[in-house]
Structure 1
Amino acid sequence: MKQLILAALAGTVLAPVAVTAQQVPNAQPDMPVSPRDRFYTSDQFSNTVSVIDPSANRLLGVIKLGDPTPMNLSPLYRGQLLVHGMGFSPDRRTLAVVSIGSNAVSFIDTATNSVRHTTYVGRSPHEAFFRPDGREVWISVRGEDYIAVLDGTTYKETGRIPVPNGPGMTIFSPDGKYGYVCSSFSPETVVIDTTSKQIVGRVKQESPFCPDIAATPDGKQVWLTLKDIGKVMVFDARPPFAVLKSFATGAITNHVNIAKTPRGQFAYVTVGTENVVKVFRTDDFTQVATIPVGALPHGLWPSGDGSRIYVGLENADAVAAIDTATNRVIATIPIGQGPQGVAYVPGAVPSGDGLAGLQPLAKAGEKVQLILSGTGRSQVTLFDQGQVQILQAAVAGLPPKMPFVLGLSSNPDGNGPVEPLAKFMTNPAGGAIVNAVGPLRQIVTQAAPTGSRRYLVIASGQPDAVGNVVQRQVKQ
């Protein structure tokens, strides 16, 4: 009582002490799953944002930010292209969505699903995150060598922070003191003091390709993924930012996120070629679960109370909902094409039904899935864009750092000439993500007209010097 009286005399109000766990990104108090919550995915090939009600595990609709291919190839195209990254404001009222191909950050009102403002930044931005105090938004401009700093209210650029070439993502310490910036082109993560905007720490990455980074809600650790070598690194969130652990997780290790539960604090990691999420303790780094989820898991985010993890399935056009108490998938929800970054926003819709501005899924839900096997195994998805499809292959099991060609053969065994579609170089783990565009569904499926059927293959070499076929399309 005496403490309350003194507080009142001092003109302050004592906030209740949170006794529950706290979740990412800013160690906010637990919020149980509610119809007011929303889970969002940024859909790279349909150029949409899918909006899910997690209380019912149901897609409510999509926010259309642009058009699919080939409409987005016009020189007069004004929509967004390659919708990819995602973050949200501490007050949970604003979603920041990054479009790599149009160099844009769209700020969306979570209550109305409307674009409040669009800011254009440098070449190929990747992710956008608000500082915990909401005053700034930091954009990792991966196609260049700086962080673009935007005002958290006007969304205008106010400055730039030089960093190693190719910043992949920024995440902040829960207290907002540090910004941790990993790189997708340079083997170095830097730690930035958010007040001085100066680099105060450097962490050597074991490879140059980090797509994702997460800070634990207890403020003690930072986890980052190394997609090209299939590893995770963990370092101390405080000076001198020493590396605590580095370990293999699997080819095309993509995103990592943290859930604090009554059983402890756990890191969830998506492993693309294995179609699983792997779960690790953050105290001793032991693996406690491997969860099959679906084709090419990418981004993931915990619910506001850590009871669930939601995972975008890039090659399945779906979201898998995981119960963290059992580490089992409890729902799979159809969404737009090629989900990349994701965000779970507790209390995103304070009132109303939150359906304004949403459109049906429509064509974005159509796809064909194929398998190539031989030396290794690759999963292929054809994302329907109308008369053409975007092909994405998650290649695995090939020799590392070698040139290959994805192409078409007239013969199911791959013998004879190969018509190249795309060339690629495998990463140090023998994997790759390969893309192509064309009227492919019409010729590589059983519905192809007589005489026009083709078969997807992977061959060694270059398009002008195709070598031996190493993977072939499995017969349907």
Structure 2
Amino acid sequence: MWKRLGSLAAAILLTVTLAPSAAAAPNRDVMFVGNNWDGTVDLVDARTFTKYQRIDVVGDLEERKASMTPDQLVAMLVIRQTAGEGHDQLVDDIMVSPDGRTMYVSRPSLGDVSAFDVATGEQLWVRRVDGYRSDHMALSPDGRTLLVSATTANVVDAVDTATGSITGRFESGDFPHENQYSPDGKTIYNATIGNVVAPDDPLLDAAKGRRWLTIADAETLRVREVIDFGVGIRPFVVMPDQRTMYAQLSFHNGFIEYDLHERRRTRTVHLPLSEEAKQLRRDEYPLDSAHHGLTMNGDHSKICDAGTISDYAAILSVPALTVDRIVPTGKKPYWAATSPDGKHCFLSNSDSDDISVVSFDNPREIARIPVGDHPQRVRGYSVPADVLTS
């Protein structure tokens, strides 16, 4: 009898001990939308499309401006009149820690990157990057290293996510843009777009500078390989085999397939222009972008291409690269991101201030979600439910 009572007591104790874990808040799939011109990030449920909190990521704006040197203030004005189209660029890219509790934001006009608590919005640290402007980022799979493109310094800074300290850097071409880690976390891919504020006349193309794909070792930051594309590399996707790459290019309405081992373009996909887009001069393309936003579904069988100047999303099948459907979106879709479940493409419509949600399997717009001023980047993550507020 005493043995049975002892076993019962042990079982009760084990139940009590495990209860907090069993009752832990489940994760939810959330899209983080960076509103570039008003300095906020909107959190949107990736399944129900309902909105959670809006996080102000420039609560320190006046403090940061007061601490700037004269040349940094001049740079801020230049960014406002060029890439910012008359506005300060306050949110470019967003990354979220593997535990879903910390958000990292690059703030171009402030030339820095900052960390925030997702649940409270509290700023945890801030770090200026090299040069004057911060841009695209990438987070290592272990969450310890944040890569930030330092646009005007032509380097990629590596930041310790725990402290905000810059621990290293590697050189890139001109105007480093998107960064990606390989799935195993051992390789870094950085693409450069060239000087997008240089004249757009083809006769002056050399003024755009070095438009490279730089491949670096993630541990040492040593550059392994540089591939000169000779044209700005916009958003890109490297397939899991780390050989096939799909990339949008400056001024091109579509994208290319590229063999990284053989260093050659294998296919070129041409996508349609709207009647309005057909009337645009080359120098009227937004920062040299014809299409700016490229992502794939969960099993890499579909591509979602943001037709920026033509206001659509193109869904294509892989590997055939045939068009399933051209789906109208809001105005000037400037990024495309896949939901954490791999089923939907979220496009940030920067001119109409909303997000288009497009289904991969049955290509159509299934939702249009209003967000803040000039949504630039959207990223999808699975985060604990207890960091979210309605």
TM-score for the superposition, normalised by structure 2: 0.73
What SS is found at the alignment partner of 2:100? coil
> C-alpha displacement at 1:81, in angstroms?
4.6
What is the identity percentage for the equivalent residue pairs of Structure 1 and Structure 2?
Answer: 19
Are residue 173 (structure 1) and residue 182 (structure 2) matched? yes
Per the alignment, residue 460 of structure 1 pairs with none
What SS is found at the alignment partner of 1:83? coil
Match of 1:63 among 55, 59, 64: 55
Per the alignment, residue 323 of structure 1 pairs with 359
Are residue 117 (structure 1) and residue 109 (structure 2) matched? no
The whole-number CA distance in structure 2 between the counterparts of 1:39 and 1:219 is 26
> C-alpha displacement at 1:233, in angstroms?
2.8
The whole-number CA distance in structure 2 between the counterparts of 1:88 and 1:226 is 27
- Change in 2 beyond 3 A, CA 1:331/1:59: same
The whole-number CA distance in structure 1 between the counterparts of 2:266 and 2:101 is 35
The whole-number CA distance in structure 2 between the counterparts of 1:90 and 1:149 is 17
- Change in 2 beyond 3 A, CA 1:129/1:285: same
Amino acid at match of 1:200: R
Q: Is the 8 A contact 1:84 1:100 kept in 2?
A: yes
Match of 1:306 among 324, 342, 365: 342
Amino acid at match of 1:158: T
Match of 1:255 among 293, 309, 317: 293
Match of 2:319 among 264, 269, 283: 283
- Change in 2 beyond 3 A, CA 1:92/1:283: farther
Per the alignment, residue 99 of structure 1 pairs with 107
Q: Is the 8 A contact 1:35 1:53 kept in 2?
A: no
> C-alpha displacement at 1:338, in angstroms?
0.4
Amino acid at match of 2:247: L
Amino acid at match of 2:31: F
The whole-number CA distance in structure 1 between the counterparts of 2:146 and 2:63 is 30
Per the alignment, residue 230 of structure 1 pairs with 253
> C-alpha displacement at 1:116, in angstroms?
2.4
Amino acid at match of 2:350: E
Deviations along 1:157-209, one digit per CA (max 9) or x if unpaired, are 011111112111111111112111110113221111223322222333252x3
**Pairs within 5 Å for 1:445-460:** none
The whole-number CA distance in structure 1 between the counterparts of 2:267 and 2:124 is 41
Amino acid at match of 1:183: T
**Structure 1 segments (4+ residues) deviating >6 Å:** 71-74, 77-80
Deviations along 1:382-422, one digit per CA (max 9) or x if unpaired, are xxxxxxxxxxxxxxxxxxxxxxxxxxxxxxxxxxxxxxxxx
Aligned length: 314
Q: Is the 8 A contact 2:311 2:329 kept in 1?
A: yes
What SS is found at the alignment partner of 1:50? strand
Q: Which has the higher contact order (CA 8 A, sep 6+)?
A: 2
The whole-number CA distance in structure 1 between the counterparts of 2:323 and 2:33 is 27
- Change in 2 beyond 3 A, CA 1:229/1:119: same
Per the alignment, residue 167 of structure 2 pairs with 158
What SS is found at the alignment partner of 1:352? helix
Per the alignment, residue 333 of structure 1 pairs with 369
The whole-number CA distance in structure 1 between the counterparts of 2:311 and 2:58 is 29
What SS is found at the alignment partner of 2:233? coil
Match of 2:36 among 37, 40, 44: 44
The whole-number CA distance in structure 1 between the counterparts of 2:184 and 2:172 is 22
The whole-number CA distance in structure 2 between the counterparts of 1:216 and 1:90 is 22
What SS is found at the alignment partner of 1:253? coil
The whole-number CA distance in structure 2 between the counterparts of 1:241 and 1:91 is 37
Q: Is the 8 A contact 2:315 2:360 kept in 1?
A: no
Q: Please identify which structure carries the higher helix content.
A: 2
Amino acid at match of 2:336: L
**Gapped regions of structure 2 (runs ≥ 5):** 1-25, 69-75, 77-87, 195-209, 278-289
- Change in 2 beyond 3 A, CA 1:130/1:282: same
> C-alpha displacement at 1:146, in angstroms?
0.6
- Change in 2 beyond 3 A, CA 1:334/1:73: farther
- Change in 2 beyond 3 A, CA 1:161/1:75: closer
Match of 1:243 among 254, 265, 280: 265
The whole-number CA distance in structure 1 between the counterparts of 2:66 and 2:41 is 22
Amino acid at match of 2:118: T
> C-alpha displacement at 1:115, in angstroms?
2.7
**Gapped regions of structure 1 (runs ≥ 5):** 1-33, 359-476
Match of 1:87 among 72, 92, 95: 95
TM-score for the superposition, normalised by structure 1: 0.60
Amino acid at match of 1:299: W
What SS is found at the alignment partner of 2:305? strand
> C-alpha displacement at 1:214, in angstroms?
2.6
Q: Is the 8 A contact 2:172 2:212 kept in 1?
A: no
Are residue 352 (structure 1) and residue 390 (structure 2) matched? no
Q: Is the 8 A contact 1:202 1:241 kept in 2?
A: no
> C-alpha displacement at 1:39, in angstroms?
0.8
- Change in 2 beyond 3 A, CA 1:106/1:39: same
> C-alpha displacement at 1:217, in angstroms?
4.7
Are residue 199 (structure 1) and residue 223 (structure 2) matched? yes
Q: Please identify which structure carries the higher strand content.
A: 1
What SS is found at the alignment partner of 1:213? strand
- Change in 2 beyond 3 A, CA 1:247/1:334: same
> C-alpha displacement at 1:240, in angstroms?
4.8
> C-alpha displacement at 1:119, in angstroms?
1.8
Are residue 142 (structure 1) and residue 184 (structure 2) matched? no
The whole-number CA distance in structure 2 between the counterparts of 1:116 and 1:242 is 44
What SS is found at the alignment partner of 1:101? helix
> C-alpha displacement at 1:113, in angstroms?
3.6
Per the alignment, residue 190 of structure 1 pairs with 214
Are residue 293 (structure 1) and residue 329 (structure 2) matched? yes
Per the alignment, residue 207 of structure 2 pairs with none
